[in-house]
Amino acid sequence: MTKKTIAVLPGDGIGPEVTRAAIKVLENIADLHDHEFVFQEGLIGGSAIDEKGAPLPHETKELSALSDGILLGAVGGPKWDHLPGGNRPEKGLLEIRKSLDLYANLRPVKAYASLIESSPLKEEIVADVDFLIVRELTGGLYFGEPKMREENEGEMQAVDTLVYKTSEIKRIAERAFQSARLRKGKVVSVDKANVLESSRLWREIVDDVRGGYPDVELEHMLVDNAAMQLIAQPASFDVIVTENTFGDILSDEASMLTGSLGLLPSASMGSTGVGLYEPVHGSAPDIAGENRANPLAAIASAAMMLKYGFEMEKEAERIEAAIEKVLADGYRTADIASKSEEAVTTAEMTDAVVKAL
Amino acid sequence: MTKKTIAVLPGDGIGPEVTRAAIKVLENIADLHDHEFVFQEGLIGGSAIDEKGAPLPHETKELSALSDGILLGAVGGPKWDHLPGGNRPEKGLLEIRKSLDLYANLRPVKAYASLIESSPLKEEIVADVDFLIVRELTGGLYFGEPKMREENEGEMQAVDTLVYKTSEIKRIAERAFQSARLRKGKVVSVDKANVLESSRLWREIVDDVRGGYPDVELEHMLVDNAAMQLIAQPASFDVIVTENTFGDILSDEASMLTGSLGLLPSASMGSTGVGLYEPVHGSAPDIAGENRANPLAAIASAAMMLKYGFEMEKEAERIEAAIEKVLADGYRTADIASKSEEAVTTAEMTDAVVKAL
Ligand SMILES: CC(C)[C@H](C(=O)O)[C@@H](O)C(=O)O
Ligand SMILES: CC(C)[C@H](C(=O)O)[C@@H](O)C(=O)O
């Protein structure tokens, strides 16, 4: 029997209902495999601002740092959009990433045969899509200093800084090559080396690191070309590694390919051993609390926690298989139901997954 | 009779053959409308490096600055990929943009009914696509200082700087609102205001400028969301305005939507009155010199020069109508021919356009 403490940060919008679904699935897995999962809840994002005046209260930080893994729902919503940058819900997410040094954001993108119809792309283009985006998450434009406003020649200007240290590039490149070894052995490193100095360093270091992985194929691709190839031939990718901002844009672009945004999980891994697991989708305030949200991305994120965080490979696969089964059986929440299909509720979908375990 | 001097910068790869095609069409238009176009050729990119040792020789700069409009082919190729950043073909393009202050890159994206089949997206998603991307072209991460390497705590780091002045944001926003007035009256301004200080200033200034265009609708959209919406509902856009790097990524993503990359033109407009017109596609070194390249993007770029640079609206429309006609008549270069269609050569396609004028 293994005991694990899981920090649960539901956040805003549909965050609470989808994390509740994931907890239910985890509790069932614990029973089936004789583990003990202890869940400890914390505030983050808009709800934390409302109750504690800050998007990442001290208690949440502590709770998270002491846990074995963090399950997050989603943050943000129009209610807090008027707040200044430093005190917005998203800031809670940025802070927890930085404070736990969660530098590697892993986002698998995979076509589910039973959902391909709902993709905006043609079936022949997306049928075999199965890749992993490895996004650097604690460097680059997001955190570089200076990040400020200043007067210049009588007018206001604003500055952000894109900075990467060799060691930051090295560790994310290592992750990418390691991941590729467990997959199809092909890394595409995305940069803008024809314009950016940081990209030129990125490219050099990635080449260096590759020396240790002669069995893995490496291709460098410019970010504008990558944005094209993700649409033109998405099935050609295996592992994509890229810096923070490019990764933000490309992974959201990629999330649209297979028509299954409501199913995509993510893991943010760091140097401390504690990982953060969250759905790729946002807080969807328009349907919050209506029992209509798709819980599968949160449930799949819980599976990633088992696999990457707790080395519970078999348990993770059991959840993944259950997700495939309920989809094959025709269960559809509103976001993935076609016009002719009847949509199930969040709770119904969750129960179906539990039964399929 | 109007006389205009046109600087022709063929560049590398397929650049020479597609600019030749555009010149042929322009010569015919001049005859038909009793204009005089004087063409003056200059070196840029890799071929300039080979002949003059620099990607933008002094003569080319002068020739361009003194012209009424610049027609560019494409730059770059594997032959020059080993060169250091400061002396690569692309540097010629960056330099001419900066030296002529070509701050507004206009990229129309439109579905051609006869080509929709070759789109990777489903027909119902892309059928009504018709938008314009207004990309800021002389600021942001591309040109901000510092842009360098330095030692920090015993290791190498690389820095790029994203900086925008109020006046830079103001003038590109004005362009976007003016363009929207001539279209469907809807601007989407794309930024990353939840993370970047420069985006927060961008958003404020765009809001300010909008005050002068109360008839135009304005929506702010985060760049990651924009990358998703371009795939999910591309037909919902009219004018998209964004900063240099985001514009680079999003406009290349957008160029894949309609299956007609080989047809997309662009115009880069500045404060001096001289504009630069070039196809969106690259130099395609793999098919250079084989009489297989699609000349339509270069020809459409020439039409943009007539419309935006010379106020020759009727002449521009004549070219656009000719392009639509040859497509409707079934002419296809290799890049847009389906498996069952026979491809025509660059020269044949050009002649067909000339005949259709
Ligand atoms: C909420 C926002 C700050 C965040 C980011 O840009 O990283 C989100 O878009 C994501 O991708 O996780
Ligand atoms: C060649 C390169 C420097 C250029 C850019 O990034 O601006 C190109 O990608 C473009 O979009 O015109």
Same fold for the pair A1-108+263-357 and A130-256: yes
pLDDT band at A87 (very low <50, low <70, confident <90, very high): confident
* Residue of chain B whose alpha carbon sits nearest to that of A155: B166
| Domain ranges across chain B | 1-104+261-357, 130-256
Measured CA to CA, the distance from residue A191 to residue B6 in angstroms comes to 35
Which whole-number Å values give the CA distances from A70 to A19, A38, B196, in the listed order? Answer: 11, 12, 26
Distance from CA of A45 to the nearest CA of B (A): 13
Average pLDDT over residues B279-304: 97
Tell me, what's the pLDDT at A271? Answer: 87
Asked if residue B83 has pLDDT above 90, the reply is no
Measured CA to CA, the distance from residue A284 to residue A322 in angstroms comes to 25
Q: Which residues of A touch B246 (CB under 8 A)?
A: 249
Tell me, what's the pLDDT at A114? Answer: 86
3-class SS shares of chain B: helix, strand, coil, % to 5: 50, 25, 30
Asked if A36 and A4 touch (Cβ cutoff 8 Å), the reply is yes
CATH class entry, domain A1-108+263-357: alpha beta
What pLDDT digit, counting tens, does each position of A345-357 carry? 999 999 999 999 9
Distance from CA of B82 to the nearest CA of A (A): 11
Apex CA B174: angle with CA B169 and CA B177, to 5°?
125
Tell me, what's the pLDDT at A260? Answer: 84
Window 248-277 of B, Cβ < 8 Å to A:
248-253, 255-257, 261
Asked if residue B82 has pLDDT above 90, the reply is no
What pLDDT digit, counting tens, does each position of B5-22 carry? 999 999 999 999 999 999
What pLDDT digit, counting tens, does each position of B23-72 carry? 999 999 999 999 999 999 999 999 999 999 999 999 999 999 999 999 99
Q: Specify whether B252 is catalytic.
A: yes
pLDDT band at A4 (very low <50, low <70, confident <90, very high): very high
Kindly give, in sequence order, each residue whose CB lies less than 8 Å from that of residue A338, ignoring residues fewer than 6 positions away.
A117, A118, A332
Q: Above pLDDT 70, what percent of chain B?
A: 100
Select from B147, B196, B228 the Cβ nearest to the Cβ of A256.
Answer: B228
Measured CA to CA, the distance from residue B241 to residue B175 in angstroms comes to 9
Which residue, among B91, B98, B136, B141, would best test binding to A if mutated, counting the most A CBs under 10 Å from its CB?
B141
What pLDDT digit, counting tens, does each position of A131-163 carry? 999 999 999 999 999 999 999 999 999 999 999
Matching residue, tokens 């945004």 = A261
Q: Does the predicted model carry a pTM greater than 0.85? A: yes
Tell me, what's the pLDDT at A128? Answer: 96
* Phi/psi of residue A193, nearest 5 degrees: -70, -15
Tell me, what's the pLDDT at B232? Answer: 96
Distance from CA of A39 to the nearest CA of B (A): 30
Window 122-161 of A, Cβ < 8 Å to B:
122, 125, 141-142, 144, 147-149, 152-153, 155-161
Asked if residue B130 has pLDDT above 90, the reply is yes
Q: Does B146 sit behind a cis peptide bond, omega within 30 degrees of 0 on the bond before it?
A: yes
Interchain pair B195, A232: CB under 8 A:
no
Q: In the CATH hierarchy, which fold is given to the domain comprising B1-104+261-357?
A: Isopropylmalate Dehydrogenase (3.40.718)
Q: What is the DSSP letter of B235?
A: G
Average pLDDT over residues A277-302: 97
Q: Specify whether B142 is catalytic.
A: yes
Measured CA to CA, the distance from residue B200 to residue A85 in angstroms comes to 8
| CB contact burial A212-234 (16+ within 10 A = b; e otherwise) | ebeebebebbbbbebbbbbbbeb
Asked if residue A265 has pLDDT above 90, the reply is yes
Tell me, what's the pLDDT at A339? Answer: 83
Residue B93 CB less than 6 A away from ligand 2: yes
Residue B224 CB less than 6 A away from ligand 1: yes
What distance in angstroms lies between residue A75's CA and the mean position of ligand 1's atoms?
10
Select from B121, B158, B198 the Cβ nearest to the Cβ of A160.
Answer: B198
Asked if residue B352 has pLDDT above 80, the reply is yes
Which whole-number Å values give the CA distances from B159 to A137, A208, A249, B107, in the listed order? Answer: 17, 20, 20, 29
Q: Which residues pair with B71 in a beta bridge?
A: B8, B277
Measured CA to CA, the distance from residue B257 to residue B235 in angstroms comes to 10
Is there a binding annotation on residue A171? no
Matching residue, tokens 């660059």 = B346
Residue closest to B37 by CA, chosen among B1, B72, B5: B5
Residue B228 CB less than 6 A away from ligand 1: no
CATH class entry, domain B130-256: alpha beta
Tell me, what's the pLDDT at B267? Answer: 98
Average pLDDT over residues A312-326: 97
pLDDT band at A340 (very low <50, low <70, confident <90, very high): confident
Measured CA to CA, the distance from residue B137 to residue B139 in angstroms comes to 6
Residue closest to A269 by CA, chosen among A132, A104, A133, A99: A104
Residue B253 CB less than 6 A away from ligand 2: no
- One-letter amino acid at A344 equals V
Asked if residue A111 has pLDDT above 90, the reply is yes
What pLDDT digit, counting tens, does each position of B147-193 carry? 999 999 999 999 999 999 999 999 999 999 999 999 999 999 999 99
Q: Specify whether A248 is catalytic.
A: yes
pLDDT band at A169 (very low <50, low <70, confident <90, very high): very high
Residue closest to B112 by CA, chosen among B269, B283, B295, B296: B296
